[in-house]
Amino acid sequence: MNILIVVVIYNKRINEIKYIEEIKSADILIYDNSKNSQNKPDGAYYYHNENNGGVSMAYNYGINLAIKLQKDFIILLDQDTSFDEEILDKYYGYAKEFGKSYIYAPIVKNGVRIYSPYIEGMFKNYPQNTNDFNYDKIYNIEEKSLINSGMMIPLDIISDIGPFKEDIKLDFSDTYFVEKYKKQFKEVILMDVFLEHKLSGDEGKNKQKELSRFKYYCNGAKVYKNTTNNIKRVNRLVFFRMLRLITKYKTLIPISIFKDYFLGDLRI
C-alpha cells in the first residue's frame, strides 16, 4: 500500500516528534505552520507556511502531493498524537482487508474519554467512555463524527467527495469533511487501534490559549454553517461554547469574540 503521512505542526520542534524519525515504511510530509522554518529530517517532505494557513490548507497540500507521488492513501496526524511503526502496520492490515471504499478511523482517546468517534449532540459534542463503548469494525457514523487526527483516507474517496475547505482553518475542518462523506457513505472502518491525543482544554485552565482558540472556533463555525442544513445546531454549539468559557474564566470576553468572529466579519 502506498501511503503518505501528513503531519501538521505549529510552534513545535520537529525533533520532538519521535515518530517522524521512527517510521520507515511510509513517506512523510511535515507541513509547518510556525513562524520560523526548520531543517527537515532526511527522507521527509517539508513545507513551511509562515502565514499559518490552517489545517485544511495543509491537508489539501498533502492531498496534492500524494496525487503527484501516486499514493493510495493519506494519513492525517498532528504534533500531539501518539504514533509509531507498529501502529502503522495495523493501518496497512486494515487497508489490505477493506481496500479503498471507506474512511479508516482509529479510536482516539485521552484516559477513559473517547474523542473519536464522538456523539453529535444538539448543544455540544459528547465523547464516549471506554467502559461502555460498543466497537464494530464496520462502524455506523450516523449522528456521530470523527476528528481529523489519525484518519486514513483513500485518495479515491477524496476524488468522489472533494477536498477539505480551506476557509475552515481549524475547528470544524473535520466536521465539514466527514459530513460530506456521510452524504454518500454511512459507515467507516473503525480500527482496533487506540491513539492518545489531547484536545484543547484538556490541559486545564489556559485563558489566553482558549480564548484565542475560540476565535478559530467561531470562524470555522461561521463558514461551516453555510455548508450544512443543520444551522440551528451550529448556532447552539457556538453559543454553548461561549457560555462554557464565560463560566470557566469568569469573563465576558467570549461574548465580544462571538459577536465579532461569528456574527460579525472579523477573520483570524
pLDDT tens column, 246-264: 999 999 999 999 999 999 9
Q: With contact defined as beta carbons under 8 Å apart, do 149 and 59 qualify?
A: no
Read off the pLDDT band of 267 (50, 70, 90): very high
User: Cα 12 from chain centroid?
Assistant: 17
Q: Can you give the C-alpha Rg of the chain in angstroms?
A: 18
Look up residue 199 and give its amino acid. Answer: L
**pLDDT tens-digit series, residues 125-167:** 999 999 999 999 999 999 999 999 999 999 999 999 999 999 9
Whether 176 contacts 224, CB under 8 Å = yes
For residue 70, the number of C-alpha atoms closer than 13 Å in the C-beta half-sphere is 0
* pTM: predicted TM-score of the whole model, two decimal places: 0.95
| Whether the Cβ atoms of residue 193 and residue 90 lie closer than 8 Å to each other | yes
- The DSSP secondary-structure symbol of 122 reads S
Contacts of 247 (CB under 8 A, 6+ apart): none
Domains of the chain in sequence order: 3-196 (3.90.550.60), 207-263 (no CATH)
Instruction: Look up residue 133 and give its three cell numbers.
Output: 463503548
Distance CA(187)–CA(167), nearest Å, equals 27
The pLDDT-based confidence of 203 (bands split at 50, 70, 90) is low
pLDDT at 202: 59
Three-class SS of 88-121: HHHHHHHHHHHCCCCCEEEEEEECCEEEEEEEEC
- Cα(22)–Cα(103) distance, integer angstroms: 25
Residue 173: the pLDDT is 98
In 3D space, the residue among 98, 97, 90 whose CA is nearest the CA of residue 194 turns out to be 90
Residue 29: the pLDDT is 98
CB 262 within 8 A of CB 210: no
pLDDT at 200 over 80: no
Q: What is the mean pLDDT of the chain?
A: 95
Q: What does the pLDDT average to over 196-218?
A: 85
Q: What is the pLDDT at residue 177?
A: 98
Q: Which amino acid is at 260?
A: D
Mean pLDDT value across residues 163-188: 97
